[in-house]
Structures are given as C-alpha cells and as structure tokens.
Structure 1
Amino acid sequence: MSAPLLEVNDLKMHFPLNGGLFGAADRFVYAVDGLSFRVEKGETLSLVGESGCGKSTVGRAILRLLKPTGGQVVLGGQRIDDMSSSALRPLRRRVQVVFQDPFSSLNPRIRVRDALAEPINNFRLAKNRQELDRKLNALMDKVGLPREALGRWPHEFSGGQRQRIGIARALAAEPDLIVCDEAVSALDVSVKAQIVNLLGGLQAELGLALLFISHDLAIVEHMTHRVAVMYLGKIAEIGTKRQIFARPRHPYTEALLSAVPKPDPDSKRDRIMLKGDVPSPIDPPKGCRFHTRCPYAFERCRSEEPRLKEVERGHEAACHLNDRAAEDNPLLSGARA
C-alpha cells in the first residue's frame, strides 16, 4: 500500500498567553491538542466543527504559516514540520491554499496576470515568456474566466470571480494538495455551488487532494470522501462520508448533523440543541472535552478522556458510549439518555 500524500501525527498548537515567573509562559491556548489524520492522493478530507475548534489553525500549521508546538507533518513521506525555511521552500509548491476572503487574499495593487505569474516564476515552472503566457491562459480556462481578465485589477471582479482567481493562483504552483480554508463560506448560495463544482471538476481532472476546512456540513456532504469532526482542539470522529452522515458514533457529530437543513421540507429530523457554550481552550474540561454539553454524559466521561478508537473499518470515534453494547448505546438505539 502506497504512503499517504499527507500524514499529520499528534499535531499540537499551543499559544502562550502571558509571561509568568522569569518571563516563561504560565498559561496556554490549546488550539490544537494532539490531532492525527492522513490525506490520500486525489482525496478530499473535510475538517469540520464549530468556529473556534481549531480547524483553521490545523490548516495553517500544515502550510507552515505557523510552526507546530509538537507532533509531525509528513508530506509525501518527508517530514516538513521541523524543516528550515530554506529547505522547505521547494516543497511549498506541493501544498497551496485558498483562503476564505477572496478579496483580502489578493493584492489590490497588482493585476491578475502578475498575481498568477508570481508562483510560476518563484518555482521556475516556465522556461520563457511564451510558456508563461500559455500557462496563464490555461489557468483562466480551467477556472472559467475569460483570458482578457488577466489584465484587470482584483476590485473589478465579483466575490465568486475573485475566488476563482484565488483557485487559479493555487493551481499555478502545480500542487498535489490544496488547503481550502472556509473557501466558500463568504459567497452567496448560488456562487458557492459553482465554486464547489469547480473544485470537484479540477480534482477529477488534475488528481488533486483537498483538505476542505468548513463548518457547512451541507457543502461537505456534497463534495467530500472522508470527514474529520473537530471539537475543542481534538478529533471527535473520523470516517467516510457515508459512515459519518448515516451512522455517527459521537454525540457532537450527531448534534451537528441534526442542524443540517434537509432538501425535503416534509422530512422531519429532531434538532439536538446543545446546552451551554463551548468551553475555553485555555482550560479545557477534564475527561471528555464534550461532556459539559453532551446529552448522554455519565460519570466516566467526567474523569477519563476517551481515545480515538475504531468502531468499524475506517471509522474512528472518541466516545465512551462505543464501549457499551449496541442496545445500551443511545447513538445506535436512537434513545436519548
């Protein structure tokens, strides 16, 4: 079996809050606290969860926009989290990013042509001006924009068109993996669907892998292969799209899915309203981090942190309920505790 394109092992991102005795930090924000997953070549893995759960921080750590506090990031069999900037530079071509805001991610002072040419020139992917022009024209064709738009400025485009330019810029480096950090959340519904379809088409055409960071499970269901559900810096559940959407094995996933609008207005689904707020990542709860809001929590949840364990092939969840027999597991029986 070939190695995955991306492996993340026990990734940690702890941000110091303030200096303690002799200037040492005495409190930390545990934004990401021991995450492990993989992304295969040509696969879409969606990282989902509420705002503040740490999913965007994971993306930035993989891109090395942030240096991880601990753990490993392995790209194509090569560890990159501890590389120097100079050693990392040629590998940056393989992982690119599409950000949430399509306007602020583009330099308003340079034309589209220069924005797209920059990664091509930086990584020396064109031998001469003619080859550069061919690549730029091909990029515009791929993202569905007219070639004449290369001479225009970012402010002359709509939000959806700017996001297409952002995707073209990511493609310009000829990457293996694109991190889509809430790439469609700032767009109108109709435009959102167009961008999702564009990403799906590009993935099929180019064999790209996508790490799709989102809070929108309706979009995720449409485009992903696997889903990793995050809560307060950790993965609560990970599995295939079918496994997660048809038979969730964590109460947090169950609650998230209950809030997804159904296309059939007559379809009934009981909305699970979680009590309380997400705890602070500065002082996460002992035991299971979700137990303060979980409708099924029992004494073990308050004292023992559940490990991510396989509940069926390719499907893992971190919940003590899965140690019970099926008839005593409310996630499987449908009975609320």
Structure 2
Amino acid sequence: MSALLDVRDLKKHFPIRAGFLGGTTGYVYAVDGISFEIAKGETLSLVGESGCGKSTVGKAVLRLFDITAGQVVLDGQRIDQMSQATLRPLRRRVQVVFQDPFSSLNPRMRVRDILAEPIRNFRLAKDGADLDRKLGELMDRVRLPRDAIGRWPHEFSGGQRQRIGIARALAAEPDLIVCDEAVSALDVSVKAQIVNLLQDLQSELGLALLFISHDLAIVEHMTHRVAVMYLGKIVEVAPRRSLFAAPKHPYTEALLSAVPQPMPGAQRERIILTGDVPSPINPPKGCRFHTRCRYVFDRCRVEEPPLAAVEAGHTAACHLHDLPPDQNPLSGAKGASLLAV
C-alpha cells in the first residue's frame, strides 16, 4: 500500500524564555527526530507515557504550529512548508477528534451549525437541500437520531458529544483522522462503543487513522500497527500482533506488563520501572531509556541506538539486538506470555 502520510525526521523544539521579554535560555525537545508512515485505510497507534510527545506529533501533522525540522508529506505533497493559503484546501483531508468532547464543541452553536460549518467552509454542498441531506447522513453514520440536530452540546452525554465530534470530522470528507486521546475521557462501556464506531467508519469510508493513546488495552483491539514513543523518540514500530506477542524494546515490554490481564489467574511478570522520566529539556545521552532500563549496559549510556529492523516489519531502537541471541533477553518469543492475542 502507498503511504497517505509520510513523516520524516520530525522535530519540534519549544523555546524556553527568561521572562516576558527575555531571550531563549534552552529548549524543550518535545519531538526529536521521528519518522513513520500511514497507508490509506490503515490505523497507526502512537502510544507512550504522558509527556512523551504523542499529542505534539498529532498537532504537527495537523499543521497547528510550525515544526522545527523534518518533513510532513500528505499523499505526495509536502505540507510542512506550505503557506496557510496554499494549505487551506488540503486541510479538508486531515481532520481531528479531540480528547475532551465538551470543550472541543462550541457551546453557543447548535449541532446543526457545528456540522454544517466544515461543509460550508470547503463548499461541499451544492445547495440547502444537499446540505440537509449531508447533515442527516452524518447523524446516521455516528448513530445519533436526526431530530437531535437542533440541540445544544450541553444537552448530550459525553459519549454522544464525542459522536458529534466524530461527525464534525467526517463532515469535511477527510482521508485521515487524528484521534488525540479520543476515548480516554469516556466511561469504559462508552469507550467500546466509540472504538467500534471508528472501526466501522474506517471500513465503510476507507479512512486512515492516527490513533494517539496511552491505553494499550484499547489499542490492541483497533490498530493495524503500533509506534511506541519515549521522551520524544520512537523506540519501536511493529504490527499489532507482533508487538503484543513479542516486544523488542525494554520500554514496550514494561508497558505491556502493566496492561490488565484478560484471563483471571494468568501468571505474568510485572515490570516496575524505577526512577522518573528524564526531563525533555535535558534528555540523557545515549539511549534515552537507559536511566530506567533493567538491561542497561555501558554502550547504552554513550551511544544512541538507531531505529533498525529486528524482524520483518518490526523495528526497534535497542543495542540488545546487536548482541548474540543467547545474550539478548528480548530475542525469540520471550514476550509471548505477556498478553493474550
């Protein structure tokens, strides 16, 4: 499959300023050189602890701010250097569903106006009758009653508001939707409904999804591939089954060990990471995870590992894979007992 979105060596460094008029005293290295692709109709999940840079990546893809370095290529067109006027027609193709379904909806607009706004902005309706037809279809797609279109956002539950947010994203007829923690603010039962809805919409419309989340239990059920981030870097990328069965990075291994086991009584080693996440203002030299890694050795402290292939379609940034297999604790299918797949 050809890549719909191609992100190449993306960096976003936020300057730290001394006082209101002071100069730059340093930088927050929020995203520090990551690359990934998303194919048409594919879901790529971006996972990691809070503060690792996941949401910054989503905002960079959406061009909500200028990036420090790298490239963002949408369907063969580089968009990171486009002017706002040139970019405007392409904004229709990449939409977003935010984390908080209440604050992301204008409380002074009825649902009809919220959904009609992108249709009018991108001139996707021929006339009033065509607009009404499209609005009705949007309500049907997100499984809300058509007569609810005249209500205000505060008249809906959290799950219903998130359906409205999804409908608003669909109104622009996009190719890619960035889901930035789109289910993390919802109850467990509602999460499942929204995840099922996103999967159905993807199947019906051929959408690509960048699913940003810290909830690996949700990710396991709705993604094609997973990219794991730590402190501004991608440390592992793999197909879902490969990553959950046999992680190839110590950080991924620790994340998976914390996921609740679906089978009661199943035995699994719980890996407790020691220490705090280092500051993105002054990240460690060498491997950024070495300060918390239980397999750390001297090379990890001085040399940053590249993201390299360890198996077909499975890449990881870890020096362990340069060791002989009998000395590599992550070789083979050691991780297969971590989660039921």
Which TM-score applies when normalising by structure 2?
0.96
Moved more, 202-211 or 263-272: 263-272
Deviations 1:290-310 (A, max 9, x none): 000000000000000000000
**SS across alignment from 1:110:** coil
Residues 3 and 77 of structure 1 are in contact (CA less than 8 Å); yes or no, is this contact kept in structure 2? no
Q: How many residues were matched structurally?
A: 333
Q: Which runs of 5+ in 1 are unaligned?
A: none
**SS across alignment from 2:161:** helix
Q: Which runs of 5+ in 2 are unaligned?
A: 336-341
**How many angstroms does 1:332 deviate by?**
2.3
- Give 2:84's aligned residue: 85
Q: How do 1:19-30 residues align onto structure 2 when only pairs under 5 Å count?
A: 19=18, 24-30=23-29
- Give 1:103's aligned residue: 102
Residues 64 and 81 of structure 1 are in contact (CA less than 8 Å); yes or no, is this contact kept in structure 2? yes
- Give 2:62's aligned residue: 63
**SS across alignment from 2:179:** strand
- Give 1:193's aligned residue: 192
**How many angstroms does 1:326 deviate by?**
1.4
**How many angstroms does 1:242 deviate by?**
1.1
**How many angstroms does 1:106 deviate by?**
0.1
Deviations 1:124-176 (A, max 9, x none): 00010000000000000000000011100000000000000000000000000
Q: Distance in 2 between matches of 1:25 and 1:181?
A: 30
- Give 1:7's aligned residue: 6
**SS across alignment from 1:332:** coil
Aligned residue type for 2:172: A
Moved more, 11-20 or 293-302: 11-20
1:116 and 2:107 equivalent?
no
Deviations 1:5-38 (A, max 9, x none): 0000000000000159x95423000000001000
Residues 184 and 192 of structure 1 are in contact (CA less than 8 Å); yes or no, is this contact kept in structure 2? yes
Which TM-score applies when normalising by structure 1?
0.97
- Give 2:201's aligned residue: 202
Residues 160 and 195 of structure 1 are in contact (CA less than 8 Å); yes or no, is this contact kept in structure 2? yes
- Give 1:178's aligned residue: 177
1:246 and 2:250 equivalent?
no
Q: Distance in 1 between matches of 2:324 and 2:56?
A: 36
- Give 1:230's aligned residue: 229
CA RMSD of aligned residues (A): 1.3
**SS across alignment from 2:32:** strand
Q: Distance in 2 between matches of 1:132 and 1:56?
A: 33
Aligned residue type for 2:78: R
**How many angstroms does 1:263 deviate by?**
1.3
Q: Distance in 1 between matches of 2:195 and 2:151?
A: 24
**How many angstroms does 1:324 deviate by?**
1.0
Deviations 1:52-104 (A, max 9, x none): 00000000000011211110000000000010000000000000000000000
Q: Distance in 1 between matches of 2:78 and 2:223?
A: 26
**SS across alignment from 1:135:** helix
Q: Distance in 1 between matches of 2:24 and 2:318?
A: 32
Q: Distance in 2 between matches of 1:119 and 1:176?
A: 15
- Give 1:153's aligned residue: 152
1:214 and 2:230 equivalent?
no
**How many angstroms does 1:122 deviate by?**
0.2
- Give 1:50's aligned residue: 49
**SS across alignment from 2:310:** strand
**SS across alignment from 1:185:** coil
Q: Distance in 1 between matches of 2:129 and 2:196?
A: 31
- Give 2:338's aligned residue: none
Aligned residue type for 2:146: R
Residues 2 and 40 of structure 2 are in contact (CA less than 8 Å); yes or no, is this contact kept in structure 1? no
Aligned residue type for 1:189: V
Residues 30 and 53 of structure 2 are in contact (CA less than 8 Å); yes or no, is this contact kept in structure 1? yes
| Percent identity over paired residues | 75
Deviations 1:268-304 (A, max 9, x none): 1111000001000000000000000000000000000
Q: Distance in 2 between matches of 1:203 and 1:274?
A: 36
Residues 225 and 237 of structure 2 are in contact (CA less than 8 Å); yes or no, is this contact kept in structure 1? yes
Aligned residue type for 2:73: V
**SS across alignment from 2:26:** strand
**SS across alignment from 1:330:** coil
**SS across alignment from 1:279:** coil
- Give 1:318's aligned residue: 317
Aligned residue type for 2:114: A
